[in-house]
Amino acid sequence: MNGGEDVQAVAEALTRLGERKLTWPMLCERAGVDHVISDPLWRALGFPDVPPDEPAYTEDDLRALRIAVEGLQKLDGDERDQALELIVRETRTVSGYLARIAETEVDALAELHRLGLRERVRAETLEKGVERSPLGWLIMYVLRRRLDEAIKRRGSTEIGAEPLLVVGFIDLVDFSRTSTGLDAAEFGRVLGRFEALAWDEITEADGRLIKLIGDEAMFAAPGAGTAAHIALTLIDAFTDHVVLPRLRIGLAAGPAITRDGDYFGQVVHLAARLVDIAEPGTIVVTEELVKTAAADGLHAAALGPRSVPGFPEPLSLFRVTRTEEGRQC
């Protein structure tokens, strides 16, 4: 892509959004949707308002709006407001994740082309548009796989119940200082290696990587033993790494609130606080988690009562290891 004209041509070839002939008032009128509903939805997609006389929208935009609000007209009062809030939140969450996927694919397409990979896929995607191409199928395949996993996982929990799980926070110790001398490429490789190791080890042990936040990661596991073994495996993998700094990890167990693929609640807050207490190369847990892990062959050394920000009373904390150090869980 050598210029703006080429960029526009590639964007149109990939997306096939169609002719932009509708203004926002025209689109809303044809969809039969009031602006009090349509405006928040458009902003939830992550796009700014467009002047009302500018033809910036297509038939696909019209179809998307109709699908998004289907059935909303049957509701009124508080029920309608709650439904609209749900739809807007769904739109905001899905669009936020898809924005990252879009950025990832733009980078990947360019790099794969440079390496001479997936040339047939690239050519067919440009010829047919992403929706009808092997690339589109591949993206939808991953979504179908993730839906399958999420439905089965959520199906094992009573609807509306707060799942009982173990939450872990992982921190690359002193990463800001150790990364100061790295150039952009080296910095990206280090973070990429951290993400890859965290993703692989957590997934392999039947845990779930919830999110990556720079040099930190949050994961969830169905039990204390699983979470502790994930944490110990990660600690071992990073201890003697030639580039990556050491890790420290905090684990907490309890009920969590799930929303839009993320977890919230006291257990999450506690795990985030415990990682700040942990020394480099160690895992800090609460007494409740130590008791839960009794049958998993792990060991713990008592750290004594510690003040934890956000909790009124000192908490009995422990350092988990695979050695005979400390008392057996």
The confidence band for 55, taking pLDDT boundaries of 50, 70 and 90, is: very high
Note whether 188 and 300 are same-domain residues: yes
Note whether 112 and 197 are same-domain residues: no
Note whether 90 and 177 are same-domain residues: no
The confidence band for 197, taking pLDDT boundaries of 50, 70 and 90, is: confident
CATH number, domain at 311?
3.30.70.1230
Using an 8 Å Cβ cutoff, are 33 and 69 in contact? Answer: yes
pLDDT at 178 over 80: no
- Rounded to two decimals, the pTM is 0.72
Using an 8 Å Cβ cutoff, are 69 and 87 in contact? Answer: yes
Q: Which of 66, 98, 117 is the last residue of a domain?
A: 117
Using an 8 Å Cβ cutoff, are 261 and 255 in contact? Answer: no
Note whether 303 and 170 are same-domain residues: yes
> Domain range for residue 208?
157-328
Mean pLDDT of 240-245: 71
Q: State the total domains in the chain.
A: 2
Highest mean pLDDT among 9-13, 28-32, 173-177, 191-195: 28-32
Give the model's pLDDT for residue 259: 81
Give the model's pLDDT for residue 114: 92
Query: Is 10 a member of any domain?
Result: yes
Query: Is 93 a member of any domain?
Result: yes
The confidence band for 188, taking pLDDT boundaries of 50, 70 and 90, is: confident
Note whether 196 and 283 are same-domain residues: yes
Give per-residue pLDDT as tens, 65-92. Answer: 999 999 999 999 999 999 999 999 999 9
pLDDT at 243 over 50: yes
- CA torsion 92-93-98-99 (nearest 10°) is 60
Q: List the single range of 12-16, 79-83, 155-159 with lowest mean pLDDT.
A: 155-159
Query: Is 136 a member of any domain?
Result: no
Q: 27, exposed or middle or buried, with CB in 10 Å at 0-12, 13-18, 19+? A: buried
Give per-residue pLDDT as tens, 264-318. Answer: 899 999 999 999 999 999 999 988 888 765 556 677 888 989 989 889 899 999 9
Q: List the single range of 46-55, 208-217, 253-262 with lowest mean pLDDT.
A: 253-262
Query: Is 177 a member of any domain?
Result: yes
Note whether 63 and 210 are same-domain residues: no
Query: Is 277 a member of any domain?
Result: yes
Q: Which of 85, 117, 149 is the last residue of a domain?
A: 117
Helical (H) or strand (E) element with 296: none
Note whether 258 and 317 are same-domain residues: yes
Note whether 55 and 199 are same-domain residues: no
Give per-residue pLDDT as tens, 94-113. Answer: 999 899 899 999 999 999 99
Query: Is 40 a member of any domain?
Result: yes
The confidence band for 157, taking pLDDT boundaries of 50, 70 and 90, is: low
Mean pLDDT of 99-128: 93
Task: Supply angle C-alpha 39, 41, 47, rounded to 5.
Answer: 80
Give the model's pLDDT for residue 108: 92
Note whether 111 and 166 are same-domain residues: no
Distance CA 265, CA 258 (A): 9
The confidence band for 214, taking pLDDT boundaries of 50, 70 and 90, is: confident
Note whether 200 and 302 are same-domain residues: yes
Give the model's pLDDT for residue 298: 72
Q: List the single range of 4-13, 108-117, 166-175, 228-237 with lowest mean pLDDT.
A: 4-13
CA distances from 209 to 59, 219, 243 (A): 38, 4, 22
206 forms beta bridges with none
The confidence band for 325, taking pLDDT boundaries of 50, 70 and 90, is: very low
Mean pLDDT of 223-251: 85
